[in-house]
C-alpha cells in the first residue's frame, strides 16, 4: 500500500511513497479483543461459587453477598465472619451470633453440638473483614479440636 504525491522527476520534486505496515495494527487489535473477552469471562467467574460434596459431585451456583447454601448435608457448621461479628449455622438454623473477641469462649461452648474431631466446618469470610479477625475465628475452631475446616468467601 503506498501513497503517491505526483509524477516523478518534475520540477525537482521527488515522489513520496510510504509503505504502511498493517501487521502490527492487526496484532494490537487482536490483543485488545482478547483482553476484552478474557475480562468479560473473569467477571462472570467471580460471580460463581463451586462446591463439591462428599460423594465427589461438584455443582456451581451464583453466590450473592450474605447468601449461604444452608441445605448442605456434608458439613456440620457454616461459620460466617462479617464486619458485625460471627454467625454460626447448623442445618440451616443460626445457633449462635457473637463478636470476634468472644470466639474462643463461644465456639468452645458450642462444640458439644457436633461430633469432634469428625466435624466438618465451612468458614466463610466477607471481603471487609480484617485478616486478624479471620485468624482469630480460625484459631478458636482449631482450639476446639475441629480439624476439617474449609475456608471460603461469602
Task: For residue 119, tell me if it sits in a domain.
Answer: yes
- pLDDT band at residue 70 using 50, 70 and 90 as cut-offs: very low
Question: How many Å from the N-terminal Cα to the C-terminal Cα in the chain?
Answer: 57
Task: For residue 77, tell me if it sits in a domain.
Answer: yes
**Cell output for 76:** 456440620
Domain, as residue range, for 86: 68-153
- pLDDT band at residue 77 using 50, 70 and 90 as cut-offs: confident
Residue 67: Cβ-neighbour burial (10 angstroms; 0-12, 13-18, 19+): exposed
Please report the pLDDT score of residue 82 as a whole number: 87
Residue with the three cell numbers 501487521:
23
Task: For residue 3, tell me if it sits in a domain.
Answer: no
pLDDT > 80? residue 109: yes
Task: For residue 10, tell me if it sits in a domain.
Answer: no
pTM of the predicted protein model = 0.52
Please report the pLDDT score of residue 44 as a whole number: 67
Q: Do residues 86 and 126 make contact, with C-beta atoms less than 8 angstroms apart?
A: no
**Cell output for 144:** 476446639
Please report the pLDDT score of residue 17 as a whole number: 77
Task: For residue 75, tell me if it sits in a domain.
Answer: yes
pLDDT > 90? residue 113: no
Q: Can you give the CATH number for the domain in which 141 is found? A: 3.30.420.270
Task: For residue 60, tell me if it sits in a domain.
Answer: no
Return the higher-pLDDT residue of 61 and 78: 78
Task: For residue 130, tell me if it sits in a domain.
Answer: yes
Task: For residue 107, tell me if it sits in a domain.
Answer: yes
Looking at the 3D structure of the chain, how many domains does it have? 1
Please report the pLDDT score of residue 73 as a whole number: 54
Amino acid at each position: 500500500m503506498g501513497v503517491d504525491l505526483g509524477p516523478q522527476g518534475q520540477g525537482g520534486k521527488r515522489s513520496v511513497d510510504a509503505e504502511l505496515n498493517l501487521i502490527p495494527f492487526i496484532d494490537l487489535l487482536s490483543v485488545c479483543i482478547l483482553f476484552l473477552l478474557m475480562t468479560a469471562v473473569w467477571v462472570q467467574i467471580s460471580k460463581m461459587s463451586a462446591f463439591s460434596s462428599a460423594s465427589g459431585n461438584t455443582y456451581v451456583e451464583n453466590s450473592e453477598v450474605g447468601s449461604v447454601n444452608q441445605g448442605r448435608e456434608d458439613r456440620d457448621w457454616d461459620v460466617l465472619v462479617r464486619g458485625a461479628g460471627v454467625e454460626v449455622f447448623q442445618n440451616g438454623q443460626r445457633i449462635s451470633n457473637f463478636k470476634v473477641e468472644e470466639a474462643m469462649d463461644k465456639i468452645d461452648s458450642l462444640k458439644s453440638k457436633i461430633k469432634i474431631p469428625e466435624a466438618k466446618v465451612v468458614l466463610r469470610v466477607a471481603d471487609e473483614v480484617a485478616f486478624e479477625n479471620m485468624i482469630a475465628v480460625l484459631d478458636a475452631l482449631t482450639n476446639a479440636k475441629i480439624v476439617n475446616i474449609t475456608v471460603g468467601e461469602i
